[in-house]
């Protein structure tokens, strides 16, 4: 199935071919004809499903007719974060290279004047975060009465960020007759209420979560003390010990913890950047760019800042905090193990609240997550009692496979952690204590097959002929 049957213009079909897309994704296949037929669409889909092109491609087709007037954007796309807004803008640049449309980005953290100048010239596509959009509106620099099409993207994330009152206000400022495309990954009650209030007889398009990465991602839980410094210590050991580390995201639940952890890792000599909502826009863009280009190895981030970002393949994901919403776990670890490649996702568990959150995650993903049998750099102890106490659904099969994957020979460890063996731009280790580590699955050497076994089991046993 190609893009030709969807009703897109020739220019757009050519742009899609130039992007190298062979066939529409399910959300594109199902949504695009309805968008072109001017229906309201309720799309239940996550990032990674191709949902951005599901609205940008038909919008480009529709915008080929007509012209923008000063201060009166023809279409409006609302995004919860600046990065997502910038990503949608990139998408218009990529698919709309031949369209000569005016696309403006109205996000916080950059100067009003520049944005204002763009609005004055007339805008075909206005991509905005809700707060900054309303700021421009209140200054009288923007009229929303010309909006023919409104896109509300990542609505459930808008809810998490407290943007729903702003969204309701904006929905009342655009003409009642506009077309609305509404995308959300989940449908909590508050979101359902908004869709009932602001969508007119919408077509509901629902696609499954993107192909699960669980199969190619090795997951582990690791026990940590509750104190922030104890957690940071465990994290450092994990990172120093990680094998096959190319790059990693470290997720924290709170943005202030992102900042603290970032500073701490920096002090310990790691190659690291941070991404959280309180950073100004240029710092966020620079951090993301450095990480994308591989100039830094680690990115400490909050869910909100990292949500939906199209970040290339990653070897490791660390959950410094267990995510509060189980869905976020799937999102976080979905950043590794892409395209069939292997990856590792390690979640630090500190205390009984975390254990409860882990139980909710295991229920959602339908499988137990094995515990790492030893925190790197700590003396080996089975700690079976603790495991049983905090996780009754423990899977011994998974644990034993981890031992195979994670254990390396002492000589290998010592070599790979000598300071002079560090590659530039990779996470640095400062000592070479014996450790065990989480790693992506890999080819095992004979040595690593047996190195976890007690020595008495490895003694030759005379066998009678």
Binding site for ligand AMP (CB under 6 A): 21, 24-25, 28, 47-53, 310
Question: Between residues 51 and 231, which has the closer beta carbon with respect to ligand AMP?
Answer: 51
Question: Between residues 343 and 376, which has the closer beta carbon with respect to ligand AMP?
Answer: 343
CB of 347 to ligand AMP, least distance (A): 24
Give phi and psi for 144, each to the nearest 5.
-100, 10
Number of H helices, E strands in the chain: 20, 13
Helix (H, G, I), strand (E, B) or coil at 136: helix
The residue written with tokens 């995308």 in the block is: 183
Rounded to an integer, what distance in angstroms lies between the CA atom of residue 244 and that of residue 238?
Answer: 12
Question: Between residues 95 and 318, which has the closer beta carbon with respect to ligand AMP?
Answer: 95
Question: Between residues 89 and 243, which has the closer beta carbon with respect to ligand AMP?
Answer: 89
CB of 317 to ligand AMP, least distance (A): 18
Nearest to 276 by CA among 247, 251, 255, 245: 255
Structure token digits, residue 219: 């997951």
Rounded to an integer, what distance in angstroms lies between the CA atom of residue 49 and that of residue 47?
Answer: 6
CB of 190 to ligand AMP, least distance (A): 23
Rounded to an integer, what distance in angstroms lies between the CA atom of residue 58 and that of residue 46?
Answer: 19
CB of 198 to ligand AMP, least distance (A): 22
Rounded to an integer, what distance in angstroms lies between the CA atom of residue 323 and that of residue 303?
Answer: 9
CB of 381 to ligand AMP, least distance (A): 44
Question: Between residues 183 and 320, which has the closer beta carbon with respect to ligand AMP?
Answer: 183
Question: Between residues 68 and 205, which has the closer beta carbon with respect to ligand AMP?
Answer: 205
- Sign for the pseudo-dihedral over CA of 356, 364, 183, 77: positive
Question: Between residues 44 and 372, which has the closer beta carbon with respect to ligand AMP?
Answer: 44
Question: Between residues 52 and 273, which has the closer beta carbon with respect to ligand AMP?
Answer: 52
CB of 50 to ligand AMP, least distance (A): 3
CB of 331 to ligand AMP, least distance (A): 12
CB of 87 to ligand AMP, least distance (A): 7
Residue 333: count of CB within 10 angstroms of its CB: 29
- DSSP annotation of 307: T
Give whole-number Cα distances, 337 to 26, 119, 344, 440, in Å. Answer: 22, 42, 7, 9
CB of 206 to ligand AMP, least distance (A): 15
CB of 3 to ligand AMP, least distance (A): 8
Question: Between residues 159 and 207, which has the closer beta carbon with respect to ligand AMP?
Answer: 207
Separation of first and last alpha carbons in the chain: 64
Rounded to an integer, what distance in angstroms lies between the CA atom of residue 273 and that of residue 279?
Answer: 12
Helix (H, G, I), strand (E, B) or coil at 314: strand
Question: Between residues 52 and 264, which has the closer beta carbon with respect to ligand AMP?
Answer: 52
Helix (H, G, I), strand (E, B) or coil at 293: helix
Question: Do 352 and 225 meet the contact criterion of CB atoms below 8 Å apart?
Answer: no
Give phi and psi for 274, each to the nearest 5.
-130, 155
Question: Do 60 and 102 meet the contact criterion of CB atoms below 8 Å apart?
Answer: no
Question: Between residues 21 and 137, which has the closer beta carbon with respect to ligand AMP?
Answer: 21
CB of 226 to ligand AMP, least distance (A): 36
Residues 6+ apart with CB under 8 A from 37: none
Question: Between residues 54 and 375, which has the closer beta carbon with respect to ligand AMP?
Answer: 54
CB of 457 to ligand AMP, least distance (A): 48
Give phi and psi for 218, each to the nearest 5.
-80, 125
Give whole-number Cα distances, 305 to 41, 163, 288, 308, in Å. Answer: 26, 15, 10, 9
Strands (E), 1-60: 41-44
- The percent helix, strand, coil of the chain (3-state, each to 5) is 45, 15, 40
């Amino acid at each position: 199935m190609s893009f030709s049957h969807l009703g897109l213009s020739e220019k757009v079909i050519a742009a899609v071919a130039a992007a190298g897309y062979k066939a529409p994704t399910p959300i594109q296949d199902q949504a695009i004809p309805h968008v072109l037929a001017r229906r309201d669409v309720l799309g239940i889909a996550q990032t990674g499903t191709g949902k951005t092109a599901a609205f940008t491609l038909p919008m480009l087709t529709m915008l080929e007719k007509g012209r923008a007037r000063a201060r009166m954007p023809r279409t409006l796309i609302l995004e919860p974060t600046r990065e997502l807004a910038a990503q949608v803008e990139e998408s218009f640049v990529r698919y709309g290279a031949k369209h000569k449309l005016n696309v403006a980005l109205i996000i916080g953290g950059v100067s009003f004047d520049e944005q204002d100048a763009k609005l004055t010239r007339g805008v075909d596509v206005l991509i905005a975060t809700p707060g900054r959009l309303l700021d421009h509106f209140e200054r009288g620099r923007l009229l929303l009465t010309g909006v023919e099409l409104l896109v509300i993207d990542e609505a459930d994330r808008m809810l998490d960020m407290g943007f729903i009152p702003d969204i309701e206000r904006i929905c009342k400022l655009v003409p009642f007759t506009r077309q609305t495309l509404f995308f959300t990954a989940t449908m909590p009650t508050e979101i359902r209420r908004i869709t009932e209030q602001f969508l007119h007889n919408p077509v509901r398009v629902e696609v499954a979560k993107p192909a699960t990465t669980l199969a190619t991602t090795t997951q582990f839980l690791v026990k940590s003390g509750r104190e922030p410094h104890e957690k940071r210590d465990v994290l450092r050991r994990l990172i120093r010990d990680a094998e096959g580390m190319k790059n990693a995201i470290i997720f924290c639940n709170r943005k202030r913890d992102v900042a603290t952890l970032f500073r701490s890792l920096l002090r310990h000599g790691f190659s690291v950047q941070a991404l959280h909502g309180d950073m100004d826009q240029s710092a966020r863009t620079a951090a993301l760019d450095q990480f994308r280009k591989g100039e830094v190895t680690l990115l400490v981030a909050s869910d909100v800042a990292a949500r939906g970002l199209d970040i290339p393949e990653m070897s490791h994901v660390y959950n410094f905090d267990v995510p509060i919403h189980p869905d976020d776990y799937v999102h976080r670890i979905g950043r590794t193990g892409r395209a069939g490649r292997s990856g590792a996702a390690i979640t630090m568990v500190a205390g009984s609240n975390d254990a409860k959150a882990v139980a909710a995650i295991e229920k959602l993903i339908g499988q137990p997550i094995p515990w790492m049998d030893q925190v790197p750099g700590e003396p080996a102890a089975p700690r079976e009692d603790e495991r049983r106490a905090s996780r009754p659904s423990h899977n011994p099969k998974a644990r034993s496979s981890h031992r195979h994957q994670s254990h390396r020979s002492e000589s290998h460890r010592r070599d790979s952690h000598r300071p002079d063996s560090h590659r530039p731009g990779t996470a640095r280790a400062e000592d070479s204590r014996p450790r065990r580590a989480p790693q992506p699955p890999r080819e095992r050497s004979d040595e690593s097959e047996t190195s976890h076994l007690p020595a008495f089991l490895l003694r030759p046993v005379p066998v009678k002929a």
